[in-house]
Structure 1
Amino acid sequence: MTDNLLLRPWTGPLGGVPPLDQVEVSMFEPALVTAMAHKRAEIEQLRSNPEPPTFANTLEALERAGATLDRVAALYGVWASSFATPELRAVRQRVEPQLSELHDAIFQDPQLYHRVEEVAGEPGLSAEQTRLIKRYLETFRRAGAQLDPAGRERIAQINQRLSILYTTFSDNLLADEESHVTFLSEDQLGGLSASWIAGAAAAAEALGATGSWAVTNTRSSVEPFLASSTERTLRERVWRAYFTRGDHGDEHDNKPLIVEVLALRLERARLLGFESHAQLQLQSTMAATPERATELMQRVWGAASAKFRAEVAAMQALADARGDEITIEPWDVRYYAALIRRSEHDLDPAELQQHYQLEQLREGMFWTATQRFGWTFELEDLPVPHPDVRAWRVRNADGSDRGLFYLDPFARRGKRSGAWMMPYRVQDRLDTPTLPIVSNNCNFLKPPPGQPTLLTPDQVRTLFHEFGHAIHGLASDVTYPTLSGTRVPRDYVEFPSQLNEHWMDTPELLSRFALHQQTGAPPSPELLERSRAATNADSGFRTMEYLASAVVDMALHQCTDPVEPAAFETQTLAAWGLPPEVVMRHRTPQFAHIFSGDSYSAGYYSYLWADVLTADAAEAFAETGFYDRAISARLMETVLSRGNTIDPAEGFRAFLGRDTEVEALLRDRGLI
């Protein structure tokens, strides 16, 4: 079993670290097949136990099963998201159905299901143990354990087919992103910042186009270009390339996959006794029903739409005053929003960007955790999968180990777009204490050697957002792996991450770490005041592009008839009254959140739901001070450390002392 490196226990500090520097793609398939067989054997031993079921011989045995597979799957996940070579993509097509089949073989097993049901009545169980049983029973029921053999078989077939479709969707999207690049000549660089130009030159050189500048088809490249380029024709070309990913009618077109995914999800939901996939997905969330999630979106939509229409009117007035002779289109919105920041707030985004050095802000990010929780971060020489990746040892205030944090900040070929937190190992105390290992992954443009990485304000927000997820994973203090860290409902998991964004704007951080790349000076109070005044200058736009995606996601997954994705987008958003100057942040053919897996399907509303919690909690921090140790300790005790051991609403109520109120969100976004 140990001939394959991936199957060996991890060695090194903190209970072992992943051998990220020794992985080869050829190792994955045999390692996964072997690890899956090992888990099957462990489960068979559990289910054939002749002793009456107890929490120890059933739930704890389930929690221990698959440790080898967990290690292999962690490394496989890193490569699938960050090093997706054609060879790795072929492996995924073969192994994803096998992983799906294993999951169903376990959670469709009536014998195992009934063992867990029997344990539910065991006397003397703790609240955490009761919560774990509830979580397992939900998983068994969602897999169809209560169905007849024919129903279980059909569910398994659906899940295996979906696993292939999800992988293909992701591969198609990555292929479209990698195959379409807009190369610029020197006379097409008008308005673009020096840091963006340097990154675009480096990107072009990496693609073999030295002497030109590359707009890669990723958000980190496209959005700054759209906000700054004076070339309107180029803005439209870049915008269309980005918002038509997966929608070209070729071998990478995702629309046929979407139709099949939706049909299979609906069939599965109905087999399980639900009217729609949305109803199935939301049963264990804070929202609980599609209707409650939609009600929140409707409440925010009206205010955001009104503000966005006012923003567009101001943009059109500015364009007219400049003699631009245009009607504002979607590829103009970011550009004119930036012009308005300059004209109304005397704020040039490039002025702020000179203070936003990744290396400095990363240290500032760590500093905020030190001030709030007493944690320290020490750079460690540990195995990494790429020279850009670095690792830090995280310690508690008393010097004891808390876990490990990895950061992979830059875009590259084979790395999926966006930003995400990934746990390599979750915390638990099931046997000996296991410390968490987490990573943050971003897609910032890498500058030429010797130059600092300068971030836009939105990219700084992304950095702090993902670090909020990392804090959540590192803070975990639970007994059972299934309930650990970020393994909470989707509409709650974004609460710690979105709350953490608020520390990026604190004067204490900015004065110490937002240091000008040339002078080393912090931003002046006057610059910070101008920045604060402009915070919500385009909040209507930002809210509407998000809501458009969330609304379509929920509507798609409540639909009970076959749909054509493009027509459904248009019809749904017309019914809601989406202004023509804005489109979905993620159109359906590129909506990886909901079509590259199940987790966020009928769940993109979660960011809004969590932001209601976030805005309310941020007001509480603003009252006491963002670095107040007492309120930080309360957040740690009631939210961050608890994982999924308590009901999220109960945890939030324990933190704030009451239920949340949506008005805080509307105030935060300047919508009231």
Structure 2
Amino acid sequence: MTNPLLEEWDTPFELAPFDTISDDDFEPALDDALTEHRMDIDAITNCDAAPTFGNTIEALEEAGSQLDRVLGVFFTVAGADSNPVREALQRKFSPLLAAHYSEISSNKALFARVAEVWKNRDSFDLTPEQARVLMLTHRGFVRSGAALDGAEDARMKEIKGRLAVLGTQFTQNLLADERSWFMKLEEADLEGLPEFVIDAARNAGAEKDAGGPVITLSRSLIVPFLQFSPRRDLREKAFLAWQARGANDGETDNRAIAAETLALREERAKLLGYKNFAAFKLETEMAKTPEAVRQLLMDVWEPAKAQAEADGAVLTEMMHADGVNGDLAPWDWRYYAEKQRMAEHDLDEAALKPYFQLDRMIDAAFSCATRLFALEFAPLDVPLYHPDCRAWEVTRDGKHVAVFIGDYFARGSKRSGAWCSAMRAQAKFPTEQSPIVINVCNFAKGVPALLSYDDARTLFHEFGHALHQMLSNVTYESVSGTSVARDFVELPSQLYEHWLDVPEVLGEFATHAKTGEPMPKEMLEKVLGAANFGMGFATVEYVASALVDLEFHDGNAPSDPMTKQAQVLADLGMPGAITMRHATPQFAHVFSGDGYSSGYYSYMWSEVMDADAFEAFEDAGGAFDPEKAQALETHILSKGGSQDAAELYKAFRGRLPGVEALLKGRGLIAA
């Protein structure tokens, strides 16, 4: 029998033939792909010719193409449409893949060839991109432990394998907790909830076969429930369940996993000669050091905390006026903040939400990309991995650029959050290949699907990542698209959020779901006027998470992360009615893999740049200034990781930014 994952894909744009792939295909396909990759590596390692950029570095770039293809499909469905079989496969594949890549990175003969090319780099007449790829390849081997020998080498392999297992388990535990909990609502419990929340709760209840409306732990459902439900007892119950994800004892508890993960990361860093994991991790980022990260976060923390405390005092007075005594609790904040927003800005979320239809916001994101970069989007009728998914061909001047896939709705089989990934990245070597890019979100279903303003920002954010992939124009896949420093990768995504706030964009695309009428000018002005409402709360919950992440890794690994978390928050003077955006047992950014470990700060580091970068548009001809759009594509979006991130930003802006634009943009200091 043939395996569709291993065959040539005679499909439009060589998309994966999802309609012919079954879960039974993944394991044999992975076995074959791993074998082929090992053969590729053996051929490079045993090459008789002296090491050159072509026979060593380019050969490594070309190796493992089949493995990349198989994993691109598997991890797409495992993250966005999981099931028990796929979860079991993930648990099985994680240590296998960790061992496989560890075997490559610790291959002494292979590393010797890479080191020889690095040593003789000045004799090879390399292009700037080739020189960058060589540096990154050599550095990657060193940081992976290729220079280690004997017991240290063996221990490094053990650590990598164990971390892979722990990261997978952490993610699956969190998904299990999110999937299993729901709170059934009686008809009387719906009182005070706007229609869009009731509709979402009924849709969630139908999916759970609960026989009525429910509140789940999906952010797009629980947050509006916390905003609008007058039932303090139900808000408390829902909030505590949301906060308890990953910390419910039993098989899905993530606290011991977090502790072991931190200990192994510290050991890994020390094997490589670093003081701690933060020093190791940040060496390759724009920030470079834990001290630089801490300085940025504390520069923002103090004005944010002051704003949050002032807001909290107002909300407490409102709560007391309602006859509720005592301190403002975390399950009260959003409810009274919504009342405050109504009072101060006369902005009713229930009246506002019909203007943020999912389809119109997709159109808005596309339209901005057309005006800025001349991209066009045409729907595709192709098999995808779930009926909720849809696809578009992206073209420019009639030429194919990319395929874009959107998977927007929350479901029990999808992990929480929102993300962008590439099933295939742009490259020109060894042959030209165009990107296949996916945005995955967790919006509440409805007919039509309606978004909150924050949801709409998330959609624009993830599409900014997608543009970074689509407009990539490099030779080598290893530096394509979003393959950049972690604290630079959020620049394009956070920058693109600004176009949602452009009045002419909302004026055109924020149309009422029932009447089709554009948002009234008065409401539009209120929306933009309230853009920084609650920014003290949002900044405090984010910065607290980023500082806890940093302190976990910048010193001795804590044996009890929950005690360390409490200590960090106490030292900061964390307001009692605000919690971390991601408490440790559910902090998937940090514990589902190494991606954002010691790096959750990077959203704010990138925001320093995105505030400054959008200011450049405003100082020029406005949001759609063609010269600035061209400069953004030329110097940032098209370059991927082919140059140093700081140099790319300076090429676009002429200088590096300060924190002032961010503080002004968040309304934390006077503009």
Partner of 2:657: 660
- In structure 2, the partner of 1:264 is 264
Structure 1 distance, partners of 2:326, 2:213, is: 27
Residue in structure 2 matched with residue 73 of structure 1 by the alignment: 71
Separation in 1, partners of 2:93, 2:117: 33
Q: Report the equivalent of 1:295.
A: 295
Say whether residues 1:466 and 2:462 are aligned partners: yes
1:379·1:392 contact (CA, 8 Å) conserved in 2? yes
Instruction: Note the C-alpha offset of 1:10.
Output: 2.5
Q: Distance in 2 between matches of 1:546 and 1:86?
A: 33
* 1:543-562 to 2 correspondences below 5 Å: 543-562=539-558
**Secondary structure in 2 matching 1:403:** strand
**Could you tell me the percent identity over the aligned residues?**
44
Quick one: which of 98, 101, 104 aligns to 1:100? 98
Aligned pair 1:147/2:145, yes or no? no
> Alignment partner of 1:392: what SS?
strand
- Structure 2 equivalent of residue 329 of structure 1: 329
Q: SS of the residue aligned with 2:325?
A: coil
Paired position in structure 2 for 1:202: 203
1:480 counterpart = 2:476: yes
Is 1:643 aligned to 2:644, yes or no?
no
Aligned position for 1:54: 52
What residue is the counterpart of 1:491 in the other structure? 487
TM-fit CA distance, 1:192: 1.8
**2:31 is the alignment partner of 1:33:** yes
Contact 1:539–1:669, Cα closer than 8 Å, also in 2? yes
Amino acid of the structure 1 residue aligned with 2:477:
P
Runs of 4+ in 1 over 4 A off after TM superposition: none
Whether 1:534 aligns to 2:535 is: no
SS where residue 100 of structure 1 aligns? helix
Q: Does 1:22 align with 2:20?
A: yes
Query: Greater CA deviation, 212-221 or 68-77?
Result: 212-221
Contact 2:389 2:407 in 1 (8 A): yes
Query: Which residue identity does 1:390 align to in structure 2?
Result: R
- After TM superposition, the structure 1 = structure 2 runs for residues 7-18 of structure 1, keeping only pairs within 5 Å, are 7-14=6-13, 16-18=14-16
Letter aligned with residue 221 of structure 1: L
- What secondary structure, in the 3-state scheme, does the structure 2 residue paired with 1:424 have? strand
Is 196-205 or 453-462 further displaced after alignment?
196-205
What corresponds to 1:235 in structure 2?
235
Separation (CA, whole Å) in 2 of partners of 1:303 and 1:114: 51
Aligned pairs (5 A) from 1:250-289:
250-289=250-289
3-state SS of 1:384 partner: coil
Instruction: Work out whether residues 53 and 124 of structure 2, in 8 Å CA contact, stay in contact via their aligned partners in 1.
Output: no
Separation in 2 of the partners of 1:505 and 1:372? 15
Residue type of the partner of 1:375? Answer: L
The equivalent residue for 1:346 is: 346
Question: Counterpart in 2 of 1:130?
Answer: 131
Q: Residues of 2 paired with 1:338 and 1:115: CA distance?
A: 61
Kept in 2, the 8 Å contact 1:195–1:453? The answer is no
Counterpart CA distance in 2 for 1:362 and 1:488 is 26
Residues 553 and 601 of structure 1 are in contact (CA less than 8 Å); yes or no, is this contact kept in structure 2? yes
Residue 441, structure 1, aligned to residue 433, structure 2:
no
Name the CA distance, whole Å, in 1 between partners of 2:558 and 2:322: 47
Please list the CA deviations of residues 14-73 of structure 1 after superposition, one character each: whole Å capped at 9, or x if unmatched. 3x1111222211211111111011100011001100000111111110000001001000
Letter in 1 for 2:312: V
Separation in 2, partners of 1:323, 1:216: 29
Equivalent position of 1:632 in the other structure: 629
Shift of 1:610: 0.4
- RMSD value over aligned CA atoms? 1.1
Matched, 1:508 2:508: no
Encode CA deviations 1:396-428: one digit per residue, 9 max, x unaligned: 1x1111010000011112110010001010000
Pick the aligned partner of 2:605 from 603, 609, 615.
609
Alpha-carbon contact 2:37-2:67 (below 8 Å) kept = yes
Number of the residue aligned with 2:177: 176
**For residues 191 and 503 of structure 1, what CA distance do their matches in structure 2 show?**
33
**Matched residue, 1:186:** 187
CA distance in 2, matches of 1:482, 1:270: 27
Q: For 1:154 and 1:659, how far apart are their aligned partners in 2?
A: 41
TM-score by length of 2: 0.98
The DSSP-based 3-state class of the residue aligned with 2:251 is: coil
Q: Which amino acid aligns with 1:665?
A: L
Counterpart Cα distance in 2 of 1:509 and 1:491: 28
Gaps of 5+ in 2: none
Asked if structure 2 preserves the Cα contact closer than 8 Å seen for 1:239 and 1:331, the reply is yes
Give the whole-Å Cα distance in 2 for the aligned partners of 1:193 and 1:460: 19
Equivalent in the alignment of 2:373: 373
* 1:124-168 deviation digits (Å, cap 9, x = unpaired): 111101100111112101210111132111101101011111111
Q: In the alignment, residue 573 of structure 2 is paired with which amino acid?
A: G
Gaps of 5+ in 1: none
Report the secondary structure of 1:280's partner residue. Answer: helix
8 A contact 2:98–2:161 mirrored in 1? yes
Would you say 1:591 and 2:587 are equivalent positions? yes
| 1:523 equivalenced with 2:502 (yes/no) | no
**TM-score in terms of structure 1 length:** 0.97
Q: How many residues align?
A: 665
